[in-house]
Amino acid sequence: MSNQSKIIAALLAGVAVGAVIGLLFSPDSGEENREDFAGWVKDLYDSSKEKAGEFAEKSMNAVKSRRSPGMHGFSDDVEKTLGV
């Protein structure tokens, strides 16, 4: 294992240990922590979904602006697949 891999592994291990210690010593109850975590995951999911949609839209706009006359069917198929 290279030095860079060891550093990254140690960093990730430190983050995990810090998260566990933070949860154990949190003044909130376990139920509150779970609700907070579930809310954070939902927000992350919604944000990721929104960013993916924006990326798909920008990609389709780029394809449309650069497509040749013979590619109309291709971009229509991509639009149907992406739901754009």
Give yes or no for residue 72 having a pLDDT over 60.
Answer: no
Mean pLDDT of 64-81: 65
Q: Which residues contact 74 (CB under 8 A, 6 or more apart)?
A: 67
Q: What local confidence, expressed as pLDDT, does residue 68 receive?
A: 61
Instruction: Sort residue 28 into left (φ over 0), alpha (ψ -120 to 50) or beta.
Output: beta
Mean model confidence pLDDT for the chain: 83
Regarding pTM above 0.75, the answer is no
CB 65 within 8 A of CB 58: no
> Do 33 and 23 meet the contact criterion of CB atoms below 8 Å apart?
yes
